[in-house]
């Protein structure tokens, strides 16, 4: 990705936060990497990654996105008890986990999965810049995951479509599936059945055949059937697995269910790949990555907007983003006052930036390629959590113990594991 002065971005963020895109190993490069491996080198916004010990071309590529499978937590687990994951790596010819890549900012699912579904464009260009964000033409802060207003009662999932935000028109770039289709490569997506045809999935799956599954065992069975069916033809499959993320939101990164789930999933995936016919395995590459990791968010480190009147009196809209990566929208003429109030109240727990400054430095991708509403959607002030900090609208019971969205190494570093099935 050309354009941003990454040295300026690193200086802006400070030493305790990870700058996306630095070094060129980013989630934004994954679509172009998939395309390159399939022999489709045109139509990508970002450059592809050079992956060691792989063939130049493959007939079929599978990208398995394991939601919440951060690099640091996975590496820690493998060092103490690999739970069969090392056997999975050996099946693909790998001896170790390898080096991580960085996810995007914010380090959150709807932003990262939109990047993976696009043509290598960054969040700044896709316009999907947060779990929630101001949508100026609709005049509200929207929940982009559920496609509904983020605040207020009486709204249902998908309401934004009824109010004029068509999922099919929300992404200003081609999808990876459309780029591949133009080159003769057929694509399929695998999502949980209750998400497979949601508005967000419709945004992200344009140009692909969509397949909904029920439970991850069904996902693996459907993946095997797809690879057998596609044997001998070029194809791409994207599969999404959410369970690790759900557990770590509930329990935190140290959830006791992590290790047994890793063991069961690695064993199930290994059996699935081993059970493929030689024809289906020939020329097939499986890539495993994640959208983000998790960070522990202790209640004692949380802040609450309803207890910060010096901040809220300068707000024109409810906050956007999410508790560890917050967007604040100032009243007309009160940007500097909001910035000063945020720094005074929250500067010890958050890195407090101007929104236009963060965009210009490349925090959300190349500032030479911005969505027309990027500045408005990010807002006037950006809060990036340090340590275990979080910002909620008010105190409530049952807050998650694990969160993501900010730029700590736990949240930002994700694996990129390559398993060429010919090697198994």
Q: Which residues pair with 149 in a beta bridge?
A: 142
**Residue 2: pLDDT over 80:** no
Q: 384 and 279 in one domain?
A: no
Contact 113, 195 (CB under 8 A): no
Q: Which domain holds residue 412?
A: 6-296+408-423
CATH code for position 317: 3.30.1360.180
Q: What is the mean pLDDT of residues 147-169?
A: 90
Query: Does one domain contain both 250 and 362?
Result: no
Average pLDDT over residues 303-309: 98
Q: Same structural domain for residues 228 and 254? A: yes
Is the CB of residue 106 less than 8 Å from the CB of residue 321? Answer: yes
Is residue 236 domain-shared with residue 375, that is, in the same domain? no
Domain CATH code at residue 161: 3.40.720.10
Distance CA 84, CA 200 (A): 34
| Burial (Cβ within 10 Å: 0-12, 13-18, ≥19) of residue 137 | exposed
Q: Are residues 349 and 413 in the same domain?
A: no
Percent of the chain past pLDDT 90, that is, above it, reads 91
The answer to whether 112 touches 31, Cβ cutoff 8 Å, is no
User: Do 353 and 324 lie in a common domain?
Assistant: yes
Q: State whether 276 and 338 are in the same domain.
A: no
Q: What is the pTM of this model?
A: 0.96
Report the number of distinct structural domains present in the chain.
Answer: 2
Kindly report, residue by residue over 28-46, the tens digit of the pLDDT. 999 999 999 999 999 999 9
187 in any annotated domain: yes
Task: Give the SS3 label for residue 24.
Answer: helix
- Asked if residue 270 is part of any domain, the answer here is yes
Among 101-105, 164-168, 219-223, 320-324, the range scoring the smallest mean pLDDT is 164-168
For residue 1, being part of any structural domain is answered with no
Q: Can you give the pLDDT at residue 95?
A: 81
Nearest residue to 404 via CA among 308, 290, 300: 290
Structure tokens at 32: 């172009």
DSSP, residue by residue, 303-332:
EEGGG-HHHHTTBSS--EEETTEEEE-BPT
Name the pLDDT band for 397 (thresholds 50, 70, 90).
Answer: confident
The reported pLDDT for the residue numbered 7 is 59
**Could you tell me if 388 and 305 lie in one domain?**
yes
Contacts of 200 (CB under 8 A, 6+ apart): 110, 113, 144, 145, 146, 147, 167
Positive/negative CA dihedral, 259, 260, 265, 266: positive
Question: Does 61 share its domain with 171?
Answer: yes
C-alpha 293/C-alpha 18 separation (Å) is 13
Q: Give whole-number Cα distances, 42 to 170, 188, 284, 292, in Å.
A: 23, 20, 21, 28
For 235-263, what is each residue's pLDDT tens digit? 999 999 999 999 999 999 999 999 999 99
Print burial letters for 98-126: b (CB count within 10 Å at least 16), e (below 16): bebbbbbbbbbbbbbbbbbbbbbbbbbbb
pLDDT for the residue 423: 59
| β-bridge partners, 210 | 189
Q: How far apart are CA 201 and CA 195, in angstroms?
A: 7
């Amino acid at each position: 990705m050309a354009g941003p002065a990454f040295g300026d971005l690193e200086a802006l963020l400070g030493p305790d936060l990870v700058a996306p895109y630095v070094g060129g190993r980013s989630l934004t490069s994954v679509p172009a990497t998939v395309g390159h491996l399939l022999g489709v080198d045109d139509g990508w916004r970002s450059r592809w990654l050079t992956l060691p010990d792989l063939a130049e071309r493959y007939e079929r590529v599978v990208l398995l996105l394991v939601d919440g499978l951060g690099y640091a937590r996975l590496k820690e687990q493998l060092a103490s008890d690999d739970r069969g994951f090392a056997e999975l790596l050996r099946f693909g010819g790998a001896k170790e986990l390898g080096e991580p890549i960085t996810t995007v900012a914010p380090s959150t699912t709807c932003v990262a999965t939109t990047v993976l579904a696009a043509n290598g464009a960054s969040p700044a260009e896709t316009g999907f810049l947060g779990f929630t964000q101001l949508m100026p033409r609709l005049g509200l802060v929207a929940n982009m995951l559920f496609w509904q207003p983020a605040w207020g009662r009486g709204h249902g999932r998908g309401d934004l479509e009824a109010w004029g935000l068509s999922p099919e028109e929300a992404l200003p770039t081609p999808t990876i599936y459309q780029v591949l289709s133009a080159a003769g490569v057929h694509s399929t997506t695998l999502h949980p059945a209750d998400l497979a045809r949601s508005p967000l999935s419709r945004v992200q799956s344009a140009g692909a055949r969509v397949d909904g599954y029920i439970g991850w065992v069904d996902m693996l069975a459907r993946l095997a059937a797809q690879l057998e069916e596609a044997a001998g033809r070029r194809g791409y499959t994207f599969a999404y697995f959410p369970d690790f993320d759900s557990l770590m939101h509930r329990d935190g990164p140290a959830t006791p269910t992590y290790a047994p789930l890793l063991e069961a999933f690695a064993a199930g995936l290994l059996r699935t790949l081993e059970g493929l016919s030689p024809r289906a395995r020939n020329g097939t590459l499986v890539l495993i990555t994640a959208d983000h990791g998790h960070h522990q968010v202790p209640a004692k480190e949380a802040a609450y907007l309803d207890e910060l009147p010096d901040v809220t009196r300068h707000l024109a809209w409810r906050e956007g983003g999410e508790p560890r990566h917050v967007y604040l929208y100032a009243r007309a003429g009160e940007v500097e006052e909001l910035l000063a109030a945020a720094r005074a109240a929250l500067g010890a727990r958050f890195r407090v930036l101007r929104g236009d400054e963060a965009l210009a430095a490349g925090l959300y991708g190349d500032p030479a390629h911005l969505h027309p509403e990027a500045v408005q959607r990010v807002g006037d002030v950006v809060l990036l959590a340090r340590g275990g900090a979080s910002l909620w609208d008010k105190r409530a019971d049952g807050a998650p113990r694990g969160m993501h969205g900010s730029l700590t190494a736990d949240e930002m570093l994700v694996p990129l594991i390559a398993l060429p099935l010919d090697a198994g």
